[in-house]
Structure 1
Amino acid sequence: MTVRSRRTLALIATTSLIALAAMPARAQTTSTAADEDVAGEEIIVTATKRASNIQDVPFSINAQTQEDIQRSGATTLEDLSRNVAGLSIQNLGPGQSQVSVRGVSAGQVVRDQPGVKEQVGVYLDESVVSLSLFTPDLDLFDLNRVETLRGPQGTLFGSGSVGGTIRYITNQPNPDAVEGLLEGNLNLVDGNDIGGHLKGAINLPLSDKAAVRAVGYHTEYGGFIDARREGGGIDKDVNSGSRTGGRLALSFMPTDDVTITPRIVYQEIEADGYNRQEVFNLYANPFTTTRPAVTFGEREQYLLLDESFKDETLLADLTASVGLGGATLTSVTSYIDRDIVASRDASALTGSVSVDLGFPAAAVLLPSNLVDTTALETITQELRLASDNDGPLQWLIGGFYSDINRDYTQRLPTPGYDAFTNATLGAGTSAAVANGFPANSPYNADLPYDIKQKAIFGELSYDVTEQFTVTAGGRYYDFKEDRRFVSGGLFANGDNRQDSTKSDGFTPRVLLSYEASDNVTFNAQASKGFRLGGVNDPLNLPLCSPQDAAIFGGYQSYDDETLWNYEAGVKGSSGPLRFSAAAFYTDIKNLQVTLDAGSCSSRVVFNVPKAHTKGIEFELNANAAEGLDFALSGSLIESEFDSTVADGTGAVLGGIREGNRLPSVPKFQLSASATYSTPIDMMGGGDAFISASFQHVGNRYTQPSDQEGNPRSFVSGLPFGGATGAQATIVNLKLPDYQLVNLSAGVELQDGLDIIAYVNNIFDENALLSFDRERGGRARLGFQVGAPRTYGITLRKAF
């Protein structure tokens, strides 16, 4: 950790303690519509774009409330996912997590596939924020709840919701009370690096018709990955980072029927490196004889250059609603400006190509920096009209428009590379292949995208009897994507091409709900979801082996992915018990699968004709005894290909074999937690509690091909550093199951002060989250790994 970071943390700790001690006693707790998250009591959600009790929503939904988030100590969506049945997160580094629901997953999507669309829509209140590759890691502070809507939500939420939808619901400005929350934290990661945060929220009434709510936060993340360096040195904790941001919302009601809420959200994430644990690197491996042989330990990697990641996001939105007497008109306008820079040490990648081209050792050792940038501008507008009455007929109709401009670039600055290129391949070679890009950058690409989408949607619900309700809806969508691809440099093809993709379609949904009693409801549904297609980038043919060029060269465009979801579920409560369960079957057509194109240092997407997922999921919350709360959730999922895809030789392509598993999804996932609380008289009175949680995540594969010929033998000892080029690194590509145990204890005092101590990952499980390969294993092999044991203390003051 840097000196700057340590000074910042010292300031955070000091400021937190002073502020917490100085703040007055709580006048009223921070307002949350879901505060009553006690087993058997109601939780209000807006999954159907109208407020309703979670038990009355006629499909499978989970809501993690503010109290759930605070008690669990969750700081990211990945933390929350382990408590949500059917929700899986594939962690590929800061700001690069990929979300799947109910096993609908198509494989690892990485930094150089900007054209791939997301399978799960992510919303901040009413504004869509999901982005393939880079779904933002939003801070969970001052949230009312996080809703997970399982199954396709295309009718109300559109194309990005083929598997489901995640909704971050914030606390809204409240004109009835002054209220706020301040939270400070210090933690120790892996026994040697310090992290922590300072967060605050305040709500101020401006009148009985207006209020403003402001939220600010800064977090320092302790690192846990060590980097071996040239010359034998080791840099500690290279993946530390920070997150800084805030929200400012103003709500005013000029009349009883009109509410207008403009808001600005800003967040910046910076990371000094990536959570990558390597098992082979071109420069550091057991096979070298003229260089020091290296066998990596846990949470180690090798770097010639420092790495970094930065994500700066600005969101401005305006939500307005007007009551029209029996109906409500709602308008949601949002604008997103986002800049992302992922800077990686690509020396091993460039060096492996240099070995193949016969460059001298001095060229192989040149530091090479791959810089990926994304500049995103998005404008969306939704307008909907919904019934607002207590009658048996409820309806909603709306329209949606979005205009997305995304400029993606790649540069590979490698100082001195052109001289070696000209010396080895002939004078003038480097200039001849540059295609207008800078010197000493063997790969460059510009990919500007313009995606426009229009949609009309609606839903109608009718109470056939007091117990039986039928809901039907649909969405018509029309989109067009224009993309240009320009590349240059020794590793590229010198492309300059324009592509265009168009698509339209209709996605229906039918839901049935039967209230068997006041406390038990059965539901069933059939719904269709879709994911927009696109165009693959051309292969980097100068890097491809003839075999890889022949296998992967025939895939240019890919069609829309569609699926039908069929499910039946039950929700109920009985005194201190609340439960829900669902069984589902998903029939997928043209699943968009991502494959690593081996030596080409490219990835391609293509359609698999048929696949399916099926399974069961359950969630249970109970007040087992006075002061003892218990929660249990889990999912059992089968997700498999129903088609086999072969190349021209008849060989199965990329693991797409009937019966093989879809990637990144555990078959079995289980979470259990228990909290015991008891009243105390000290410190003004309140409650003391102790809480424990257990999370099991089953085994997975990162890509479909990983289950073919596994364990895999990577012949990655290139003829460099004394290696002969025939040595094999054997890797088991089945990511093993892992178990996380967390423990916390603390006091929640009546004056609004909470003090919580915790240990996360008590047994220091080194969870392997996904497999990382560079250039088919010729350059690097490794895994993204989870956080190690972490000790921490949190102080929270509400007023």
Structure 2
Amino acid sequence: MITVLSVSNALILMPSFRVDFHQDEGEPCRCVGSGNSKNAKNTREEIMTIVSSRGRARALFGASALSSLLGAGLVALPSVATAQQADPNAIAEIIVTATKRDATIQDIPFSINAQTEKDIQRSGAVTLEDLSRNVAGLTIQNLGPGQSQVSVRGVSAGQVVRDQPGVKEQVGVYLDESVISLSLFTPDVDLFDLNRVETLRGPQGTLFGSGSVGGTIRYITNQPKLGVSEGTFEANANLVDGDAFGGHVKGAVNIPISDKIAMRAVGYLTQYGGFIDARKEGGKVDKNVNDGTRRGGRLSFYIEPNEQVNFTPRVVYQEIRAGGFNRQETFNLFANNNTTTRPKIQLGEREQYLLLDERFSDNTLLADMTANLKFDAATLTSVTSFISRDITVSRDASALTGSVSVDLGYPAAAVLLPSNLRDTTDLEQFTQELRLASTTDGPLQWVIGGFYSKVDRVYNQRLPTTGYDTYTDAVLGAGTSAAVANGFGKDSPYNAYLPYDIKQKALFGELNYTVGKLTATAGGRYYDFSETRQFKSGGLFANGDNRTDKTSSDGFTPRFLLSYEASDTVTFNAQASKGFRLGGVNDPLNIPLCSAQDRAIFGGYQNYDDETLWNYEGGVKSRFGRVTLNAAAFYTDIKNLQTTLDAGSCSSRVVFNVPKAHTKGVEAELTARLANGLDIGLSGSLLEAEFDSTVKDGTGAVIGGIREGNRLPSVPKFQVSFDVTYSKEVRPGVNGYLKASLQHVGNRFTQASDQENNPRLFVSNLAFGGATGRVPTAVNLALPSYEIVNLSAGLEMQDGVDLTLYVNNLFDENALLSFDRERGGRARLGYAVGQPRTMGVTVRKSF
């Protein structure tokens, strides 16, 4: 017996009855029944369905799909729980839409993972980072709410920071059909009322376009359902690091408005407990400064005027507020153990030093609509989306500004002026996709389409430092501050204004043909891209630029796949695919801050080209009884890898093209039911990600660690996760479970240059507060490996009430996620760190 899982519906196969299903994403399931109705009547307590796909059970069954069966008298359904109890030990199949069609994970001819709604609930996961622990090859750097960096299979450019607005993402992120990825600031989507989260490994440029050079992540929400009234309410309380309280309240409801219209509404409010303490002047300490909130909701409608046409309009709104950043400092110009006239300060674990409070805010509005028009042999799908985002990063740049003031010979009072660096991003993005896909059951299947996007993005940077102009004019001469302002306001030694106009057009298509047990797939995407960017800067630290740069590119990215069904339980897959990441223009160096050496090394790099890669992989997908094993081996050949480096003392960052690089490795995911109620999962990847080129400056010196054989930044060689779940009916109608997981992440480097001269001695050379400026700070730039252990226990009751208790990061591992340096380490050194031990309880009620 095979159980097919989709959303919360368990479906059971009976050979005497057949129900064929088809569902386009964003609409309820349609079904047609056939077979022996007498037999069906005799099994009134079972739901029967199968869609045959090369010998495997495939189905996607929403509650509305039952209505035609119930109405016909073919199936009686006392409760979903009754059907689920029919075989509680059957192995579940997960339906995904990674190929723009419904298919089980086992039928997708490339490497994919899907975390279901049940996986999310049982693990207590609230972020993509939490989910990544069970996904081989997926690496997340958590830099705070809404600021995570994602890489798949080791394809990584290293750390991207807030003031690199022109850098494009390497992993595309989608909310259902709408692309939402934006380099560092991809929205931190709430996981409530999601059907699943899909991770598509390897380049997905054919169907998902630019930004999917390493892979694609898709958040798939639960869709409105016709004829169904249902809802879920969830409440959580948690304790972070033993003294910071957090929690959330969330709710979702599905309401049928008529027999042709349904509405689904989701709302949530989350309070994040902080875990970073900020030391301040005068010995004051502010606790848990990086706390915050996330609030928002989704409102969507399903409208079906007739069986051939349907629409799913939706509005999503979310606000994120954070009171600081998860930065742990080891050196600060104002707080270190080497001063004499200022109090000596030894910064500890999860501590930082601030003269000013910091904050982060992100307001995101998404309005989209998916429409389907069905023909006899194909469906035309239109996806229209509009995104508006306002992002503000406000941080304490006093140490940065102060370090420049020391260089300029300003008095101590000027060095200590509080200085606030404010980065703002105003984004409007419009996208339109139109595609036509076959819907027949023949051996030939195809999809063709077109894509258009227009992005208007304005990035501003200001450095308000009250009183700075007075000291500037006193030290450098009267009128100096006004002479360098270039039209910007007073008392701000650095200002930048960067409006972007980015347009992209694409045509794509893919077809597959099945002959016997062999299926061949070929596809491709042609893209045409243009970017216009103005750069205007002013202030003492800037160059006084006022320039407009234009870049453009076009290309073709093909994909070829072969899938051979060796048996009903084993399929072999092979793939060759190309991916791309759009290029851009580097910001000019902050010449007044640069040393002569840094100007010579980094001054000649203006444009950077498209990054492209070819991915070659072979894999196997297998299921033997209660054991499922999916594995793949791959080799990725990368051209013009975009790698980010700090430009030394310039307080600038430069993107370089590395001519050649590669990644290669193996990944595997195994799930097994060892006994009734006892399940284990094991996933892991072993990677080699290295430069195959050496980049040198005019003197012949290697630039920033870009040396043949050095590792690509931010990528562990080895990561693995293991989980075990034991579930048992503790009393009639109540199922209990225990779940434990272990994640190991190997060591990494934040930037390519961190591999050179490591461990490294950082010397500020800034004599301030009685310090000589020559006492070094020793840092090992290899981010150490770490292990995270999570535990959860819960009760799942037949009346729709679930209770979950959990402890994440049981042993309070202080995971170092990336290395943070300010002005080459002269102003500040530190790390972005992960969340400490968190204990919580979640209560959920479904109705």
- When normalised by structure 1's length, the TM-score is 0.95
Q: Where does residue 18 of structure 2 map in the other structure? A: none
Distance 1:318 1:560 in 2: 31
Distance 2:832 2:447 in 1: 44
8 Å contact 1:753–1:797 — kept in the other structure? yes
Alignment partner of 1:491 is 2:545:
no
Q: Where does residue 619 of structure 2 map in the other structure? A: 569
Structure 1 counterpart of 2:276, one-letter code = I
Q: CA deviation at 1:176?
A: 3.0
Report matched runs for 1:154-303 at 5 Å: 154-303=205-354
Q: Where does residue 735 of structure 1 map in the other structure? A: 783
Query: C-alpha offsets along residues 567-625 of structure 1, whole Å, 9 cap, x if unaligned?
Result: 00000112211120000000000000100001100000010000000000000111111
Q: Where does residue 629 of structure 1 map in the other structure? A: 679
Report matched runs for 1:277-676 at 5 Å: 277-463=328-514, 465-676=515-726
**CA spacing shift, 1:753–1:554, aligned 2, 3 Å:** same
Q: CA deviation at 1:727?
A: 1.2
Q: Which has the larger radius of gyration?
A: 2
Query: C-alpha offsets along residues 489-537 of structure 1, whole Å, 9 cap, x if unaligned?
Result: 0000000000000100000000000000011110000000001110000
Secondary structure at 1:713's aligned position in 2? strand
8 Å contact 1:315–1:337 — kept in the other structure? yes
Paired residue total: 767
8 Å contact 1:566–1:585 — kept in the other structure? yes
Q: CA deviation at 1:756?
A: 1.2
Q: CA deviation at 1:757?
A: 1.0
Secondary structure at 2:599's aligned position in 1? helix
Distance 2:78 2:234 in 1: 17
Q: Where does residue 797 of structure 1 map in the other structure? A: 845
Distance 1:138 1:37 in 2: 32
Q: CA deviation at 1:37?
A: 12
Distance 1:742 1:38 in 2: 25
Structure 1 counterpart of 2:796, one-letter code = E
Structure 1 counterpart of 2:115, one-letter code = Q
**CA spacing shift, 1:639–1:28, aligned 2, 3 Å:** farther
Query: C-alpha offsets along residues 121-170 of structure 1, whole Å, 9 cap, x if unaligned?
Result: 00000000000120111100000000000000000001110000000000
Find runs of 4+ consecutive structure 1 residues off by over 4 angstroms: 26-30, 36-39
Secondary structure at 2:183's aligned position in 1? coil
Q: Where does residue 131 of structure 2 map in the other structure? A: 80
Report matched runs for 1:84-163 at 5 Å: 84-163=135-214
Structure 2 counterpart of 1:146, one-letter code = V
Secondary structure at 1:482's aligned position in 2? strand
Q: CA deviation at 1:28?
A: 7.0
Distance 1:174 1:373 in 2: 39
8 Å contact 1:29–1:179 — kept in the other structure? no
Q: CA deviation at 1:294?
A: 1.0
8 Å contact 1:39–1:578 — kept in the other structure? no
Alignment partner of 1:713 is 2:747:
no
Q: CA deviation at 1:716?
A: 2.0
**Of 704, 720, 730, which residue of structure 2 is paired with 1:680?**
730
Distance 2:518 2:380 in 1: 27
Secondary structure at 1:173's aligned position in 2? coil
Query: C-alpha offsets along residues 643-682 of structure 1, whole Å, 9 cap, x if unaligned?
Result: 011111111100000000001111111011111111122x
8 Å contact 1:277–1:782 — kept in the other structure? yes
Distance 1:519 1:204 in 2: 40
8 Å contact 2:89–2:677 — kept in the other structure? no
Secondary structure at 1:186's aligned position in 2? strand
Structure 1 counterpart of 2:571, one-letter code = T
Secondary structure at 1:231's aligned position in 2? helix
Secondary structure at 2:487's aligned position in 1? coil
Stretch moving more, 721-730 or 608-617: 721-730
Distance 2:676 2:260 in 1: 41
Structure 2 counterpart of 1:262, one-letter code = P
Q: Where does residue 17 of structure 1 map in the other structure? A: none
Distance 1:281 1:217 in 2: 38
Query: C-alpha offsets along residues 362-386 of structure 1, whole Å, 9 cap, x if unaligned?
Result: 0000000000000000000000000
Secondary structure at 2:93's aligned position in 1? coil
Distance 2:721 2:90 in 1: 17
8 Å contact 2:692–2:708 — kept in the other structure? yes
Distance 1:709 1:70 in 2: 45
Structure 2 counterpart of 1:776, one-letter code = G
Q: CA deviation at 1:717?
A: 5.3
8 Å contact 2:89–2:676 — kept in the other structure? no
Query: C-alpha offsets along residues 622-642 of structure 1, whole Å, 9 cap, x if unaligned?
Result: 111111111110000100000
Secondary structure at 1:423's aligned position in 2? helix
8 Å contact 1:182–1:200 — kept in the other structure? yes
8 Å contact 1:688–1:747 — kept in the other structure? yes
Distance 1:502 1:313 in 2: 28
**CA spacing shift, 1:108–1:566, aligned 2, 3 Å:** same
Distance 2:680 2:230 in 1: 30
Distance 1:150 1:439 in 2: 49
Q: CA deviation at 1:38?
A: 7.7
Distance 1:184 1:228 in 2: 34
Query: C-alpha offsets along residues 168-218 of structure 1, whole Å, 9 cap, x if unaligned?
Result: 000000113211111100001111010000000011112222210000000
8 Å contact 1:717–1:723 — kept in the other structure? no
Query: C-alpha offsets along residues 330-366 of structure 1, whole Å, 9 cap, x if unaligned?
Result: 0000000000000000000000000011111000000
Q: Where does residue 746 of structure 1 map in the other structure? A: 794
Stretch moving more, 777-786 or 200-209: 200-209
Q: Which consecutive residues of structure 2, in runs of 5 or more, have no partner in the other structure? A: 1-76
Report matched runs for 1:759-774 at 5 Å: 759-774=807-822
8 Å contact 2:122–2:794 — kept in the other structure? no
Secondary structure at 2:282's aligned position in 1? coil
Q: CA RMSD in A?
A: 1.4
Distance 1:673 1:133 in 2: 30
Secondary structure at 1:503's aligned position in 2? strand
Identity between Structure 1 and Structure 2 (%):
75
Stretch moving more, 405-414 or 70-79: 70-79
Q: CA deviation at 1:87?
A: 0.4
Q: CA deviation at 1:466?
A: 2.2
Distance 2:323 2:400 in 1: 20
Q: Which has the higher contact order (CA 8 A, sep 6+)?
A: 1
Distance 1:157 1:755 in 2: 38
- When normalised by structure 2's length, the TM-score is 0.89
Secondary structure at 1:538's aligned position in 2? coil
8 Å contact 1:437–1:444 — kept in the other structure? yes
Secondary structure at 1:679's aligned position in 2? strand
